[in-house]
């Protein structure tokens, strides 16, 4: 049996060994203590968890976030979402094939009356925005309750191993997301007037202003004077032939497996989407020892930060812009991915198809606000505010600042005089902004024998490099301006190389070789020991991933103050010293041949109910303009995710059919906004 666990990671500490025995379909496996069933199954090489009752379609992980039911299994006779169910010793897990049978041993229990809680401020979401708001409120003595559906506070910060952008002084730029998450969680836990409920799910908001919450101790109704919704964002999906196969899922699910659970979630990964989420996901995969076959983006340029794209290109990952995925294919799991170039209207161009071997396709095509409870509160006229992605989808650094501002505004409304600095709103807007203009990179003339080469050519909010230089030789005014080396006096300390979140700075030593033929280039490197062999030759690349020539790995500098980032010294010809930005860690991606999609292939749109695109198109062409009517006719949005995944896809189909969305009635959102066992409601007051 092959065990798919990550034993060595350049950033993350090893987890406890797998010692908890459980079984799947009668076969014995082991899980780590506290591990979710889905992660333990993935670690055991299991990708197919069951088959859908409607058409027998294979089911597996999709969101890994408890928002759908794709990963349902039968655990000790009961259906559970495997991504939210913890393994315990002796657990008997079975595939969910078809509809799960109702348990026969339930005893009738009275519902009772749920316990009620009143708080001045209720914050929904324990991610960066929610935690920062709680800290601001807690510091001025306001009682706060924070609830989050995960066992650990921090939200998506717990999955982010890379250094953050933004302002060093205001939002910890240069610090890794996982560390920021721990710092915020520790500060919240230290505030005596801030309570936290983890593993607690907000199920809905009712007209009387009470929020229903499923907690490990039973169902609770919470009433608050002020409500802050900071529930983050969910990933958007796409519908194409094969998009429903196990192995097609979002970056959040992938990062949960890889960065939270240290499970090797793929062997060969393909990425769809060139925003920051897709680019960072590709980089995280490489760090985990997973090969990244390539990335496609339908637009002419990647929408994410250029430094994110550059760092995977120079490692050897190809990025195809003006391309899309035509299909994923395989026997009950992804085995190949077919891509094609698109025209100006995003239509595939015949004859440009290429097919690659891949067992996982990462979908990273944008995020949607989690705002169902926010919308209800606004509809009912309640005192409510939003922060982070629930307010506006942006980077985590923006969510941090959004939470700080929201917390102070709530404090003011509750009568506590707190100041909001004048520059905060402006900085928050900058942190939310999209990348600005990009300039062509040209080597800057430098004096002296040691100097940094800075390949930051896109206006993004980031300033760690200027703060890192002890001699203040890296100049930048506004946080969106491009950094510039002043051109003299470099000490060669390497601090700028260490602290640049985009890995966009290298250090050149011209005086390395007495003969004047070779130079030493110091590069940032965030990979495991397996990727470094001293005195070995590597293929050097420029910032765009083009081959420069050959280099020799001469030394590696590791120090605690480098925050798990190594500095690799690479010997290169003197003529290459200003060109070399990195070196490849993988070979070229080779297509396995052209595979044309069948003309009649009909993609799944609603994964939960296995509703195909043709079913939706038929009803739209018959005159349906109401999402609720669609539910009644062909059942989209009636499954476990409640339309959170397929709703956006259905709206896209309306647009494709020439129907303006203002003429479409949206589906009604009612509690419960998340699936929970009925047993949650019968525990009553305890």
Distance CA 597, CA 326 (A): 7
- In 206-322, the DSSP E strands lie at 211-215, 218-229, 233-235, 248-250, 268-272, 291-297, 319-321
Element (H, E) at 466: helix 464-468
Which pLDDT band, with edges at 50, 70 and 90, does 174 fall under? Answer: very high
Distance CA 228, CA 237 (A): 27
Whether 275 and 303 have beta carbons less than 8 Å apart is answered as yes
Taking residue 439's Cβ as centre, other Cβ atoms within 10 Å add up to 10
At 599 the pLDDT is 45
For residue 589, CA distances in Å to 92, 316, 317, 447 come to: 41, 9, 8, 40
pLDDT digits (tens, 9 = 90+) for 521-572: 999 999 876 667 889 999 999 999 999 999 999 999 999 989 999 999 999 9
- The CATH number of 115-233+369-431 is 3.50.50.60
Alpha helices of 115-231 — where are they, by DSSP H? 128-139, 168-171, 177-190
At 447 the pLDDT is 76
User: HEC states along 91-145?
Assistant: EEEEEEECCCCCCCCCCCCCCCCCEEEEEEEEEECCCHHHHHHHHHHHHCCCCEE
Distance CA 60, CA 444 (A): 51
Contacts 24+ apart (CB under 8 A), 68-72: 68/607, 68/608, 68/639, 68/640, 68/641, 68/644, 68/645, 69/608, 69/639, 69/640, 69/641, 69/675, 70/607, 70/608, 70/640, 71/38, 72/96, 72/100, 72/640
At 446 the pLDDT is 76
User: HEC states along 261-275?
Assistant: CCECCCCEEEEECCC
For residue 210, CA distances in Å to 198, 380, 414, 686 come to: 19, 11, 19, 19
Which residues make Cβ contacts (< 8 Å) with residue 345, sequence separation at least 6? none
At 111 the pLDDT is 72
For residue 469, is pLDDT > 90?
yes
Q: What is the DSSP letter of 576?
A: G
Q: What is the DSSP letter of 259?
A: I
For residue 173, is pLDDT > 70?
yes
Tell me the domain boundaries of the chain: 1-102, 115-233+369-431, 450-583, 604-663
Q: What is the DSSP letter of 258?
A: I
pLDDT digits (tens, 9 = 90+) for 273-317: 999 999 999 999 999 999 999 999 999 999 999 999 999 999 999
Share of the chain above pLDDT 70, in %: 97
At 683 the pLDDT is 56
- In 412-529, the DSSP E strands lie at 450-454, 474-475, 484-485, 505-509, 518-525
- Rg (C-alpha) for the chain, rounded Å, is 26
Peptide bond into 672 cis (omega under 30): yes
pLDDT digits (tens, 9 = 90+) for 596-639: 555 448 999 999 999 999 999 999 999 999 999 999 999 998 88
pLDDT digits (tens, 9 = 90+) for 56-74: 999 999 988 888 889 999 9
Percent helix / strand / coil, the chain, rounded to 5: 25, 25, 50
For residue 1, is pLDDT > 70?
no
Distance CA 284, CA 287 (A): 5
Q: What is the DSSP letter of 15?
A: P
Which pLDDT band, with edges at 50, 70 and 90, does 106 fall under? Answer: low
CATH architecture classification, 1-102: Roll (3.10)
State both tokens at 607.
């994964």
Which pLDDT band, with edges at 50, 70 and 90, does 321 fall under? Answer: very high
pLDDT digits (tens, 9 = 90+) for 122-170: 999 999 999 999 999 999 999 999 999 999 999 999 999 999 999 998 8
Whether 251 and 362 have beta carbons less than 8 Å apart is answered as yes
Whether 368 and 236 have beta carbons less than 8 Å apart is answered as yes
Find, among 392, 531, 401, 391, the residue nearest to 461 by Cα. Answer: 401
- pTM, two decimals, is 0.94
Taking residue 54's Cβ as centre, other Cβ atoms within 10 Å add up to 13
Mean pLDDT of the chain: 92
Distance CA 503, CA 287 (A): 14
- Calculate mean pLDDT across residues 223-238: 95
Which pLDDT band, with edges at 50, 70 and 90, does 445 fall under? Answer: low
Strand partners, 284: none
At 685 the pLDDT is 45
């Amino acid at each position: 049996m092959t065990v798919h666990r990550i034993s060595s990671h350049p950033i993350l500490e090893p987890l406890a060994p797998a010692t908890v025995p459980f079984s799947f379909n009668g076969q014995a496996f082991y899980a780590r203590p506290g591990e979710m069933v889905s992660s333990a199954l993935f670690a055991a090489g299991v990708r197919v968890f069951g088959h859908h009752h409607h058409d027998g379609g294979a089911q597996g992980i999709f969101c890994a976030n408890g928002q759908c039911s794709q990963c349902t299994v039968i655990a000790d006779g009961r259906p559970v979402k495997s991504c939210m169910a913890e393994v315990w010793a002796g657990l008997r897990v079975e595939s969910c094939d078809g509809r799960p049978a109702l348990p026969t041993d339930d005893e009738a229990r009275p519902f009772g009356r749920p316990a009620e809680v009143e708080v001045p401020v209720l914050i929904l979401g324990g991610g960066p925005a929610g935690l920062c708001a709680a800290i601001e409120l807690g510091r001025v003595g306001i009682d706060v309750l924070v609830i989050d559906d995960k066992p650990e506070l921090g939200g998506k910060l717990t999955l982010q191993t890379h250094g953050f952008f933004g302002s060093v002084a205001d939002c910890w730029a240069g610090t890794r997301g996982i560390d920021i998450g721990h710092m915020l969680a520790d500060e919240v836990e230290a505030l005596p007037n801030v309570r936290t409920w983890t593993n607690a799910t907000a199920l809905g908001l009712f007209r009387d202003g009470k929020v229903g919450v499923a907690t490990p101790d039973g169902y609770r109704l919470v009433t608050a004077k002020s409500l802050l919704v900071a529930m983050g964002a969910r990933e958007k999906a796409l519908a194409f032939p094969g998009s429903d196969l196990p192995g097609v899922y979002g970056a959040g699910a992938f990062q949960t497996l890889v960065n939270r659970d240290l499970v090797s979630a793929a062997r060969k990964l393909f990425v769809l989407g060139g925003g920051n989420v897709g680019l960072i996901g590709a980089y995280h995969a490489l760090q985990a020892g997973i090969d990244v076959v390539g990335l496609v983006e339908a637009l002419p340029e990647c929408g994410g930060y250029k430094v994110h794209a550059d760092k995977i290109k120079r490692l050897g990952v190809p990025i195809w812009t003006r391309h899309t995925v035509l299909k994923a294919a395989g026997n009950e799991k992804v085995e190949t991915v077919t891509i094609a170039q698109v025209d100006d209207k995003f239509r595939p161009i015949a004859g440009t198809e290429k097919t690659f071997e891949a067992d996982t396709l990462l979908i990273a095509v944008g995020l949607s606000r989690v705002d169902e409870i926010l919308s209800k509160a606004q509809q009912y006229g309640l005192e409510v505010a939003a922060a982070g992605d629930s307010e506006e989808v942006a980077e985590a650094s923006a969510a941090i600042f959004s939470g700080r501002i929201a917390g102070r505004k709530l404090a003011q409304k509750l009568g506590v005089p707190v100041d909001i600095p004048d520059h905060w709103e402006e900085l928050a807007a900058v942190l939310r902004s999209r990348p600005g203009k990009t300039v062509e990179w040209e080597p800057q003339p430098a004096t002296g024998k040691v100097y940094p080469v800075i390949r930051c050519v896109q206006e993004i909010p980031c300033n760690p490099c200027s703060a890192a230089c002890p001699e203040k030789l890296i100049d930048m005014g506004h946080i969106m301006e491009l950094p510039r080396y002043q051109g003299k006096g470099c000490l060669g300390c390497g601090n700028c190389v260490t602290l640049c979140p985009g890995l966009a700075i290298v250090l050149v030593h011209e005086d390395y070789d007495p003969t004047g033929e070779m130079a030493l280039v110091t590069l940032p490197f965030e990979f495991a020991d397996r990727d470094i062999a001293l005195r070995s030759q590597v293929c050097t690349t420029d910032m765009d991933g083009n081959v420069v020539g050959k280099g020799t790995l001469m030394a590696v500098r590791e120090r605690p103050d480098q925050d798990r980032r190594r500095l690799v010294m690479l010997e290169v010809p003197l003529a290459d010293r200003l060109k070399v930005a990195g070196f490849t860690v993988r070979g070229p991606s080779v297509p396995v041949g052209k595979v044309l999609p069948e003309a009649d292939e009909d993609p799944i749109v609603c994964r939960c109910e296995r509703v195909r695109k043709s079913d939706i198109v038929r009803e739209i062409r018959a005159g349906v303009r109401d999402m609720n009517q669609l539910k009644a006719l062909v059942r989209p949005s009636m499954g476990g995710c409640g339309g959170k995944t397929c709703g956006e896809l259905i709206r896209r189909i309306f647009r494709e059919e020439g129907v303006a969305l203002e003429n479409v009635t949206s589906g009604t959102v009612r509690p419960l906004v998340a699936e929970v066992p009925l047993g949650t409601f019968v525990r009553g007051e305890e």
